[in-house]
Amino acid sequence: MKLKPSNSHDLVGVGLRHPHYSYVLENKPPLGWFEVHSENYFMKGGPALHFLERIREEYPLSLHGIGLSLGSADGLDKNHLRRLKDLIYRFSPFLVSEHLSWSRVNETYFPDLIPLPYTEETFSLLAQNIDEAQTFLGREILVENPSSYLEYRDSIFSETDFLASLCRKTGAKILLDINNVYVSSFNHGWDAGAYIRAISPEFVGEIHLAGHSLRTFEDGSVLRVDTHSSCVCDEVWALYHQALQQGIRAPTLIEWDEEIPDFEVLMQEAITAQGFLEKKEVAYG
């Protein structure tokens, strides 16, 4: 199946992780692009950068950040921004993205992407930080909707309204993580289909698809956790189909970060996504 369509909005990619460096270079799989976590390449040299440079000769790249902490109240880490800008200069990614979350207070960093309350104060803070990041980097960034396991009583906006307002205010776009939509909707009792319907196609610059895990507690309650450790589930494929049907078309990425399988497994997930993009009857699950 052709996985390099001429229309850039139909490009299907895979998250590049170190166990697959050699496979990709030796086999040159027919994919549209690869995405890497920005912070994994902030070093000055070494094998990871060497492999990425070789892969960049064959494929477009996107950079997906996990540490800029756009929601930090004390501003952005200027050193982090400088290192990200250097990486962008080196690899010329066609997309650069971050998360709608926070993970830093002063010089204390947390190994997680912590959701934010959707308030006027948070909106102003995020808009300011996104503007600063885009101005410093000299380009648009994408902001990913979070997976979440709690909600704030102080929130006055829905997540979709909050994201849309940020796009209008800053010119940034949404990285629509459909697995995150499903995980958060299950955990909070939202309607995942209504969430997708509330997203304007014009604001979406990229789509993520991934798997997740179930955690069952002693009281019998169940939580869905965004672990990126399994195949995309049927419900997420159905939401992806819905998004495409309502005109949301953007470069689509298969993510897999834990319990990483052979590359052929990721390739099959990419083929399934491409089938949806080409409006073919596809089997999944």
Residue of 225 and 265 predicted with greater confidence = 265
Q: How far is CA 152 from the centre of its chain?
A: 23
**Amino acid 114: pLDDT:** 76
Helix or strand holding residue 258 (H, E): none
**Amino acid 193: pLDDT:** 98
Residue of 109 and 19 predicted with greater confidence = 19
Share of the chain above pLDDT 70, in %: 91
pLDDT reading at 111 higher than 60? no
Q: What is the mean pLDDT of residues 134-151?
A: 94
What are the structural domains of the chain? 11-277 (3.20.20.150)
**Amino acid 2: pLDDT:** 35
pLDDT reading at 63 higher than 50? yes
Helix axes 120-137, 159-170, angle to 10 degrees: 40
**Amino acid 115: pLDDT:** 84
pLDDT tens string 181-207: 999 999 989 999 999 999 999 999 999
pLDDT tens string 6-60: 566 668 999 999 999 999 999 999 999 999 999 999 998 899 999 999 999 999 9
**Amino acid 226: pLDDT:** 82
Confidence of residue 210 (pLDDT cuts 50, 70, 90): very high
- Residue 97, token pair as written in the block: 């993205």
Q: pTM of this prediction? A: 0.92
Are 33 and 251 a contacting pair, CB within 8 Å?
A: yes
Cα torsion at 182, 70, 171, 177 (round to 10°)? -20
Share of the chain above pLDDT 90, in %: 73
pLDDT tens string 212-249: 887 887 887 877 888 888 999 999 999 999 999 999 99
pLDDT reading at 4 higher than 50? no
**Amino acid 239: pLDDT:** 98
pLDDT reading at 1 higher than 60? no
> How is the chain split among helix, strand and coil, in percent rounded to 5?
40, 20, 40
Give the torsion sign (CA, 72, 74, 79, 82): positive
Helix or strand holding residue 141 (H, E): none
**Amino acid 149: pLDDT:** 83
**Amino acid 152: pLDDT:** 83
Residue spans of alpha helices (H) in the chain: 21-27, 47-56, 78-91, 120-137, 159-170, 178-188, 192-197, 234-245, 263-277
Confidence of residue 3 (pLDDT cuts 50, 70, 90): very low
pLDDT reading at 107 higher than 90? no
